[in-house]
Amino acid sequence: MKWLLLFPLLASSALGQNANADPSPIERALTVMHTEPIPHYKPATQQDKMRWFVSSTVSPSRLFIVGPISSAWGTMRDVPTEYGTHWDGFGKRNGMRLTGVATGNLIEAGLGSIWGEDPRYFRSGQSGLARRAKYVVKTTFLAPGRSGKWRPAYARYAGNVGNNFLSNTWRADSEADARHAVVRCLWGVFGRITSEAFSEFWPDVRKKLFNK
């Protein structure tokens, strides 16, 4: 249960922003990546957060593309071995992934509401592939606060870590340990980058392909 120690640290860091305390070295390193506030920013309403939770958990792309591909890859590799390489195993892997994603998103949305952290993705409005790709990576680790200024995405970090360590309590024994949880956390970061890259670039690709 060592992972539980991370949450007081995250909470104290996030709440410390409201106490006018000097930022920590980690906070300074992260906020220096992107400090320009979002133009015409409007804080997320409860409806906005609910829409984000639903779309980030059970959107068509996640249900019918990301989830099946991830589950098929695990089934082909027989990881975890307890599930086997048949359709039943495929279904268990897909269900396990969905419960993990839902747990992480719920933690992020819940803590974000307390800390004033907006989970939504905001497109860069920039031009140039390199600049936009850099923006995607930056905003994977940052989130808008109530003022629209970027700051470390503490609720997102907590959601990623909490989801992957909490899920050890219901995962197959062969992957229910700290080492596998850390690997899943890293994959969670990569998955977030992929998701935000899709949000950044897909509207332009769709416009060129379908003229809309």
Q: Is residue 16 part of a domain?
A: no
Q: Is residue 32 part of a domain?
A: no
**Least trusted range by pLDDT, from 24-28, 37-41, 91-95, 117-121:** 24-28
Distances (CA, A) of 41 to 37, 146, 175: 8, 9, 42
Residue 123 one-letter amino acid: R
Identify the CA nearest to 11 among candidates 102, 104, 110.
Answer: 110
Q: Are 17 and 149 in contact (CB under 8 A)?
A: no
- Res. 137: pLDDT tops 60: yes
Total tally of structural domains belonging to the chain: 1
Q: Is residue 118 part of a domain?
A: yes
Residue span of the structural domain in which 79 resides: 41-210
Could you report the per-residue pLDDT of 194-207, keeping only the tens digit for each?
Answer: 989 999 999 999 88
Considering just the CA atoms, what is the radius of gyration of the chain in Å?
A: 18
State how far the Cα of 203 lies from the Cα of 8, in Å rounded to an integer: 39
How many CA atoms does the CB half-sphere of 11 hold within 13 Å? 9
Q: Is residue 112 part of a domain?
A: yes
